[in-house]
């Protein structure tokens, strides 16, 4: 066929225009163009919708993450509280709590015997390291970790021991030069994401003389492979101390590790030697250098700076002493300046009145999310005990410098506390920022300078204010950056600490770069990771990547949908765990108990209770149903979720608290359960629970706790299987439940 031949050889595009090949009438070019335009316009709109969804998904994740950090601060302050009130929670001798919180390193760990005596069985097929390390050892580690193997405890301890020895010789600030090396690669947060680290090594090359690296902190927590990540980093550090450089991040901190997963990961992977390993990690973390400078021009720190940052001072301190940002340097009573008047010295954003400052919002709240810690404490209790909750927060967090907290009687601002606390309140992170102290003694200044470096965030407005969101460090403006760079002859500040959608972001007119190396941090597809390469001309170049779990490339739609799903789930859990407050907030608008409020009222109530600055109206369709008249049926918000197993008989308020602090309670139980049996005694349970609720200011009487304890003691043998207890307080999404039942699995949460 004549036409057929010519059709077969011509390119497709031409074919459809060829009238001969068609048996339909070819549309006019004008019509075709109109059709094209229509499709283009529709498609662009579709992409715009997707982009909006992606953005608010991101905002949900970030808001919840920062709000979660507030909760974490609660936990750490609770630990301080526990430590100071009950140092011996369980019998004789120092217990794990004091060990974990106030690490006095077991001298045993300072000797080689700590690892030498650990036998490695024949059956162990993982890498057997030999020190000093060689390339074959690091290759073996890479291979093993890719195969999901776990490094034997003996080698972990040995690795840590050798790393500690090396780090002790290093200064606080490392100075690098590009004249001896090729381009230096700078990576940001990894957070236990082994895949990202492997991807970086694959794309950029393994650490070597040709490929020097700086890793800017936050190697652990959140991700599931923190041990593997940090083992590789330390191994390369030992192998190439001149070409591999590690900065400390705010997550290289044993108290952060308790909350964000590293402690748990270690205890799970190393049941016998977990505690020693953790102790050595604590030590090594506090020995990590806190800053790196390239060619005297580029400063690299994990968080940022403050207007007080003094690099010369930082070079001189004993960084090892700042074990944790959460543990203010302990001082004995003699050293406290009792009766010393608070000189109104400007510390950060100016002077404030003493303990009541914590009950007010500070200005310059980041992203207008005014979620200060004391407000979160206030929102944990219902309106009936609001006075006690407010007072409990202020009573727990008085600075030692305010006289009211030094008296042995209970703090006068907490009349309705169920327990009288007859001890000195532990100073809390906030107090340093909010209350200007007298001329700070040496170790206070050291602590603050280090915390500023590890915790601060840049902001667009000028000035420097306490970072109340994080609870530590500052928000620093472009003027602060300019001044510091000028002062030290620097031209660029590279920092990490914040997740960025593209893996990196510039601010302060290009003087500050944020670099973040954990892709898909919130969810598959949520963000890229990136690293910087900088050569002799000191111009940074950015390299982005994204780890993909599936071999098939996900479309943007699929990724956004997946991320959105996860974000909404997390948000719904938040709704569920704040149910009583939300309901009382909503009922204020619904005096007649109709079950409905207007959309604005609904948005208002949610915003003020949850203190998450999210586009509530846009999210409404995902969270609540509308009544026929267009108002919001607010009860429908909570339909979608239920507890993991049938709840024991508890009040709504108690249930909410248990749901909200489930993770924290789990950590506490795990600490108490020294032999990892999964059981704690009823007495321990009661004790801990009373402390926790007293601390939170949740008004729970003894009998409720006793009933709770007894109801969970299924074996009636005086011990509680706390895993089962916690299972009851895991929020489960009903849809998941049904799906899993259909699949024959037992119901379970995330």
Kindly give the residue spans of alpha helices, DSSP state H, lying in 86-110: 96-101
Per CB under 8 A, 43 contacts another protein = yes
52 makes contact with another protein (CB under 8 A): yes
User: Residue 613 interacts with another protein (CB under 8 A)?
Assistant: yes
State which residue, 36 or 423, has the beta carbon closest to another protein: 36
Q: Is 503 exposed, middle or buried (0-12, 13-18, 19+ CB in 10 A)?
A: buried
- In the list 10, 20, 22, 353, the residue contacting another protein (rule: CB under 8 A) is 22
Buried b (16+ CB within 10 A) or exposed e, 238-276: bbbeebbbbbbbbbbbbbbbbbbbbbbbbbebbeebbbb
Does 486 bind another protein (CB under 8 A)? Our answer is no
**Do residues 667 and 259 lie in contact, with contact meaning Cβ atoms separated by under 8 Å?**
yes
Does the footprint of another protein cover residue 502 (CB under 8 A)? Answer: no
Tell me how far, at minimum, the Cβ of 474 lies from another protein, in Å.
16
Run of H or E including 633: strand 632-633
Q: Which of 203, 321, 344, 617 binds another protein (CB under 8 A)?
A: 617
Whose structure tokens read 């310059």?
364
DSSP collapsed to 3 states, 21-74: HCCCCCCCHHHHHHHHHHHHHHHHHHHHHHHHHHHHHHHHHHHHHHHHHHHHHH
The span of 7-15, 123-131, 291-299, 304-312 binding another protein (CB under 8 A) equals 7-15
Piece of 30-38, 165-173, 292-300, 514-522 that binds another protein (CB under 8 A): 30-38
Q: Which of 10, 34, 120, 241 binds another protein (CB under 8 A)?
A: 34
In SS3 terms, 304-342 reads as CCCCCCCHHHHHHCCHHHCCCCCCCCCCCHHHCCCCCCC
Q: How far is the CB of 407 from another protein (least distance, A)?
A: 43
Tokens of 380: 């944990």
Distance in Å, CB of 721 to another protein, minimum: 43
Interacting residues with another protein between 452 and 481 (CB under 8 A): 459-460
Shortest distance, CB of residue 44 to another protein, whole angstroms? 6
Q: Which is nearer to another protein, 41 or 750 (CB)?
A: 41
Residue 554 near residue 548, CB atoms below 8 Å: yes
Choosing from 3, 38, 209, 338, the residue that interacts with another protein (CB under 8 A) is 38
Q: What is the C-alpha separation between 237 and 166, in angstroms, rounded?
A: 9
Is residue 618 a contact residue for another protein (CB under 8 A)? yes
Nearer to another protein, 554 or 704 (CB): 554
Cα separation, 93 vs 100, whole angstroms: 14
- Token pair of 373, please? 């810690």
Choosing from 557, 588, 649, 723, the residue that interacts with another protein (CB under 8 A) is 557
Among the listed residues 10, 51, 210, 702, the single contact to another protein using CB under 8 A: 51
- Applying CB under 8 A, among 57, 59, 392, 670 the residue interacting with another protein is 59
Residue closer to another protein (CB basis): 56 or 86: 56
- 366-395 residues in contact with another protein (CB under 8 A) are 366-368
Catalytic residues: 251
Q: Residue 652: which of 724, 576, 589 has the closest Cα? A: 576
Question: For residues 37 and 735, which CB has a smaller minimum distance to another protein in the complex?
Answer: 37
**Burial call 170-203: b when 16+ CB within 10 Å, e when fewer:** bebbbebebeebebbbbbbbbbbbbbbbbbbbee
Q: Considering CB under 8 A, how many residues would be counted as binding another protein?
A: 49
Report residue 432 as tokens.
């340093």
Q: Could you give the CA distance from residue 665 to residue 689 in angstroms, rounded to a whole number?
A: 9
Q: Is 135 in the site for another protein (CB under 8 A)?
A: no
Q: For another protein, which is the closer residue by CB, 39 or 338?
A: 39
Binding flag, residue 3, another protein (CB under 8 A) = no
Q: Please select the residue that binds another protein; options are 3, 39, 209, 338, rule is CB under 8 A.
A: 39
Among 3, 10, 20, 47, binds another protein (CB under 8 A): 47
Chain positions 399 to 438 lying near another protein, rule: CB under 8 A, are none
How remote is the C-alpha of 395 from its chain's centroid? 26
Q: Is the peptide bond before 711 cis (omega within 30 degrees of 0)?
A: no
Is there binding between residue 553 and another protein (CB under 8 A)?
Answer: yes
| Kind of pairing between the strands at 244-246 and 213-215 | parallel
For another protein, give the closer residue by CB, 49 or 738. 49
Of residues 241, 363, 615, 748, which one binds another protein by CB under 8 A? 615
Select 177 or 461, whichever has its Cβ closest to another protein: 461
Residue 608 contacts another protein per CB under 8 A: no
Answer for which of 3, 16, 423, 735 binds another protein (CB under 8 A) is 16
The strands making up 474-476's β-sheet, listed across from edge to edge, are: 457-458, 474-476, 464-466
CB 547 within 8 A of CB 193: yes
The candidate with the shortest Cα–Cα distance to 272, out of 78, 119, 430, 489, is: 119
Can residue 320 be called a binding residue for another protein (CB under 8 A)? no
**Which one among 20, 44, 313, 746 touches another protein, defined by CB under 8 A?**
44
- Per CB under 8 A, the list member of 41, 343, 734, 738 interacting with another protein is 41
Q: Which stretch binds another protein (CB under 8 A): 5-13, 345-353, 447-455, 589-597?
A: 5-13
CA distance 711 to 524: 40
Q: Which is nearer to another protein, 204 or 558 (CB)?
A: 558
Q: Sign of the C-alpha dihedral, residues 409, 410, 416, 417?
A: negative
Name the helix (H) or strand (E) containing 87.
Answer: none
Strands 512-515 and 492-495: parallel
Residues 298, 492: Cα–Cα separation, whole Å: 5
Closest CA to 492 of 231, 716, 255, 294: 294
Collapsing DSSP to helix, strand or coil, 122 comes out as coil
Contact between 343 and another protein per CB under 8 A: no
Give the distance from CA 681 to its chain's centroid. 31
Exactly one of 5, 9, 12, 550 binds another protein (CB under 8 A); that residue is 12
Q: What tokens were used for 20?
A: 């001969």
Radius of gyration of the chain (CA): 28
The reply to whether 9 sits near another protein by the rule CB under 8 A is no
- Report, in Å, the least distance between residue 21 CB and another protein: 8
If one asks whether residue 735 binds another protein (CB under 8 A), the answer comes out as: no
Q: Residue 10, interface with another protein (CB under 8 A)?
A: no
Q: Is 745 in the site for another protein (CB under 8 A)?
A: no
Least distance (Å) between residue 736 CB and another protein:
21
Q: How far is the CB of 554 from another protein (least distance, A)?
A: 9
Tell the smallest beta-carbon distance from residue 599 to another protein (Å).
7
Nearer to another protein by Cβ, of 70 and 163: the residue is 70
Sheet of 184-187: strands edge to edge? Answer: 244-246, 213-215, 184-187, 529-534, 541-545
Q: Which stretch binds another protein (CB under 8 A): 31-39, 87-95, 317-325, 429-437?
A: 31-39
Sign (positive/negative) of CA torsion 270, 273, 275, 277?
negative
- Using DSSP's 3-state secondary structure scheme, residue 318 falls into coil
Structure tokens at 308: 């007080």
Tally of residues, the chain: 750
User: Which residue, 151 or 632, is less far from another protein as judged by CB?
Assistant: 632
Residue 180 binds another protein (CB under 8 A): no
List interacting residues with another protein (CB under 8 A). 11-13, 16, 22, 24, 26-27, 31-49, 51-52, 55-56, 59, 366-368, 459-460, 552-553, 555-557, 599, 613-615, 617-618, 621
């Amino acid at each position: 066929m004549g036409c057929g031949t010519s059709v077969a050889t011509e390119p497709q595009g031409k074919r459809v225009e060829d009238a001969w090949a068609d048996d339909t009438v070819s549309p006019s070019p004008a019509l075709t163009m109109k059709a094209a335009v229509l499709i283009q316009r529709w498609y662009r709109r579709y992409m715009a919708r997707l982009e909006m969804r992606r953005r608010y998904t991101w905002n949900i994740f970030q808001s919840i993450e920062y709000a979660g950090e507030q909760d974490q601060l609660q936990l750490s302050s609770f630990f301080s509280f526990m430590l100071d009130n009950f140092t011996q929670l369980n019998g004789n001798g120092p217990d794990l709590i004091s060990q974990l919180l106030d690490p006095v390193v077991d001298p045993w760990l300072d000797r080689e015997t700590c690892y030498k005596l650990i036998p490695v069985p024949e059956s162990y097929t993982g890498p057997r390291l030999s020190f000093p390390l060689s390339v074959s050892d690091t290759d073996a580690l890479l291979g093993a970790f890719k195969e999901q193997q776990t490094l034997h405890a003996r080698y972990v301890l040995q690795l840590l021991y050798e790393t500690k020895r090396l780090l002790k010789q290093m200064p606080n600030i490392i100075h690098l030069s590009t004249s001896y090396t090729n381009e230096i690669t700078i990576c940001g947060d990894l957070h236990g994401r082994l895949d990202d680290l492997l991807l970086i090594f694959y794309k950029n090359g393994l650490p070597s003389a040709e490929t020097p690296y700086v890793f800017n902190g936050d190697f652990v927590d959140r991700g599931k492979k923190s041990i593997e990540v940090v083992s590789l980093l330390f191994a390369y550090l030992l192998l190439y101390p001149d070409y591999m450089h590690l900065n400390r991040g705010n997550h290289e901190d044993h108290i952060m590790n308790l909350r964000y997963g590293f402690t748990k990961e270690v205890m799970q992977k190393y049941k016998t030697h977990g505690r020693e390993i953790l102790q050595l990690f604590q030590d090594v973390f506090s020995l990590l250098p806190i800053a790196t400078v390239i060619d005297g021009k580029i400063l690299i720190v994990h968080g940022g700076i403050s207007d007080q940052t003094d690099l010369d001072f930082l070079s001189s301190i004993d960084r090892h002493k700042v074990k944790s940002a959460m543990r203010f340097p302990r001082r004995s009573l003699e050293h406290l300046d009792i009766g010393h008047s608070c000189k109104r010295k400007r510390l950060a954003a100016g002077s404030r009145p003493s303990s009541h400052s914590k009950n007010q919002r500070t200005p310059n709240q980041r992203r207008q999310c005014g979620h200060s810690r004391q407000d979160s404490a206030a929102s944990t209790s219902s309106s009936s005990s609001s006075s006690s909750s407010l007072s409990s927060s202020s009573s727990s967090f008085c600075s030692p410098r305010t006289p009211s907290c030094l008296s042995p009687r209970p703090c006068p601002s907490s009349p309705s506390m169920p327990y009288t606390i007859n001890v000195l309140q532990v100073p809390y992170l906030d107090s340093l920022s909010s209350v200007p102290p007298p001329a700070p003694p040496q170790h206070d200044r050291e602590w603050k300078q280090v915390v500023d470096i590890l915790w601060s965030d840049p902001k667009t407005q000028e000035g420097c204010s306490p970072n109340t969101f994080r609870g530590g460090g500052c928000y620093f403006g472009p003027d602060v950056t300019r001044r510091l760079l000028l002062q030290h002859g620097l031209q660029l500040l590279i920092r990490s600490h914040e997740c960025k959608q593209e893996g990196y972001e510039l601010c302060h007119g290009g003087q500050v770069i944020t670099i973040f190396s954990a892709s898909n941090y919130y969810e598959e597809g949520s963000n890229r990771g990136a690293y910087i390469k900088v050569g002799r001309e000191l111009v940074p170049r950015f390299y982005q990547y994204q780890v993909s779990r599936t071999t098939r490339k996900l479309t943007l739609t699929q990724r956004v949908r997946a991320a959105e799903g996860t974000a909404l789930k997390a948000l719904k859990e938040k709704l569920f765990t704040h149910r009583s407050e939300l309901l009382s907030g909503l009922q204020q608008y619904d005096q007649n108990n109709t079950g409905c409020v207007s959309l604005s009222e609904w948005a208002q109530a949610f915003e003020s209770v949850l203190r998450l600055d999210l586009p509530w109206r846009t999210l409404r369709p995902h969270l609540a149903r509308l009544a026929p008249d267009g108002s919001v049926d607010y009860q429908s918000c909570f339909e979608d979720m239920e507890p993991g197993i049938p709840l024991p008989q508890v009040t709504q308020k108690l249930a909410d608290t248990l749901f909200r602090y489930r993770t924290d309670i789990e950590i506490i139980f795990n600490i108490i359960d020294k032999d990892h049996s999964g059981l704690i005694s009823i007495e321990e349970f009661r004790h801990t629970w009373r402390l926790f609720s007293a601390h939170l200011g949740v008004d729970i009487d003894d009998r409720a706790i006793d009933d709770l304890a007894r109801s969970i003691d299924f074996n009636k043998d005086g011990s509680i299987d706390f895993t089962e207890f916690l299972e009851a307080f895991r929020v489960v999404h009903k849809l998941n439940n049904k799906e899993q039942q259909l699949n024959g699995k037992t119901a379970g949460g995330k």
